[in-house]
């Protein structure tokens, strides 16, 4: 769910663009150095960007009965880090506004701050905190994805609240109202997306673990431990 074209007053569009541009700038610098070191990076990043676009265009079965879509940024954050995710997120958001009419150009800065910067930053913090812990990697993936998703919607609510503060109670009351409306679908969605991505990791670990090892998402030890757990579960099921 993105802020649509024209919904924010122009002053706030400018503010969110100013906040987003340094991250884009850092992302381009990091992208350039990655391509210089390994020119195979660009095609791989490109196909991952397309994957995230498709992921965010798919309607996810939601517990509340409504349909919504995953943000996909949790996966990108773990694989490529925050700066590259901000670039991929910005491209995905631009294509969503141009190909699917989701979001817009004036609100692209605000949508980037929530989905391509804020959410991934929170997810990355959780990932760094739990990466080398003894916690099961599927729980780590679940937490990273769910937190990135939730923070995205918290920031979206904040962006709307500062643009349209309440007459009584100001920004806080307005934030509460916007978040309460989003929470009906977004809280269950964050949990469902966390579960979905944990299961996605289960399939990747079972079929092509070398991707995760190459990207250094998790260590070889952690992945082989997860594979053993997976095979034990399969044997028990059988």
Partner 1 sequence: MIEINLDHIAQQSTFRHIHPGTKLFLALGSLIICLVSPSPVVPVVSGIVLSLILIIPGRLSPLHYAKILLGPAVFLIMSIIVLLFMHGGGDVIWQFPVFWINCSITTGAVRESILVLCRVFGCSVSLFFIVLTTPMTDLFNGMKQAHIPIELIDLMMIVYRFIFIFYSQTVEIWQAQVMRLGYRRPKEAIRSFSMLCGMLFISSWSAGEDLIHAMDCRCYNGVFPVLDQTEPVQMSSFIPVLVYLTGLCGILVLATQPVGAIL
Measured CA to CA, the distance from residue 22 to residue 144 in angstroms comes to 24
Of 236, 196, 206, the residue nearest 63 (C-alpha):
196
Q: Which CB atom, from 95 or from 125, has the smaller least distance to partner 1?
A: 95
Residue 42 vs 129, nearer CB to partner 1: 42
Cβ proximity to partner 1, 134 vs 237, nearer residue:
237
Kindly state the number of chain residues that form the binding site for partner 1, as judged by CB under 8 A: 72
The residue from 132, 203, 216, 231 that contacts partner 1 (CB under 8 A) is 203
Nearer to partner 1, 54 or 129 (CB): 54
Query: One symbol per residue from 22 to 51: x for binding partner 1 (CB under 8 A), - otherwise; what is it?
Result: ------x--xx--x---xx-xxxxxxxxxx
- Asked whether position 1 contacts partner 1 by CB under 8 A, the answer is yes
* φ, ψ for residue 61, nearest 5 deg: -65, 120
91-130: which residues touch partner 1 (CB under 8 A)? 91-92, 94-95, 97-102, 104-106
Structure-token pair, residue 165 = 């503060």
Q: Does 19 bind partner 1 (CB under 8 A)?
A: no
Which of 75/126 has CB closer to partner 1? 75
Nearer to partner 1, 164 or 229 (CB): 164
The string of DSSP letters for 128-176 reads: HHHHTSSS-HHHHHHHHHHHHHHHHHHHHHHHHHHHS-BTTTHHHHHHH
Stretch that binds partner 1, among 137-145, 194-202, 216-224, 225-233 (CB under 8 A): 194-202
Nearest to 78 by CA among 198, 192, 189: 198
Distance CA 38, CA 129 (A): 28
* 43, containing H or E segment: helix 41-57
- Report the distance separating Cα 196 and Cα 3, nearest Å: 25
Question: Do the beta carbons of residue 90 and residue 140 sit within 8 Å?
Answer: no
189 is a contact residue toward partner 1 (CB under 8 A): no
Q: Identify residues 67-96 at the interface with partner 1 (CB under 8 A).
A: 75, 87-88, 91-92, 94-95
- Footprint (CB under 8 A) of partner 1, residues 155-184: 160, 164-168, 173-174, 177-178, 181
């Amino acid at each position: 769910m993105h802020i649509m074209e024209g919904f924010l007053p122009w002053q706030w569009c400018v503010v969110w663009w100013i906040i987003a541009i340094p991250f884009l700038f850092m992302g381009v610098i990091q992208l350039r150095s990655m391509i210089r070191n390994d020119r195979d990076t660009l095609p791989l990043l490109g196909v991952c960007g397309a994957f995230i676009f498709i992921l965010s265009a798919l309607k996810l079965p939601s517990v509340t009965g409504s349909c919504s879509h995953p943000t996909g940024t949790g996966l990108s954050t773990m694989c490529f880090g925050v700066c590259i995710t901000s670039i991929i997120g910005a491209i995905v958001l631009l294509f969503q506004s141009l190909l699917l009419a989701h979001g817009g150009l004036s609100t692209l800065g605000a949508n980037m701050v929530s989905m391509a910067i804020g959410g991934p930053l929170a997810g990355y913090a959780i990932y760094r905190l739990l990466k080398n812990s003894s916690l099961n990697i599927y729980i780590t993936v679940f937490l990273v994805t769910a937190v990135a998703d939730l923070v995205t919607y918290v920031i979206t609510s904040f962006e709307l609240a500062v643009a349209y503060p309440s007459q009584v109670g100001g920004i806080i009351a307005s934030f509460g109202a916007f978040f309460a409306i989003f929470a009906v679908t977004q809280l269950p969605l964050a949990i469902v997306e966390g579960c979905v991505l944990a299961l996605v990791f289960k399939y990747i670990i079972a079929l092509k673990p070398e991707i995760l090892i190459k990207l250094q998402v998790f260590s070889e030890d952690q992945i082989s431990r997860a594979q053993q757990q997976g095979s034990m579960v399969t044997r028990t099921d059988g």
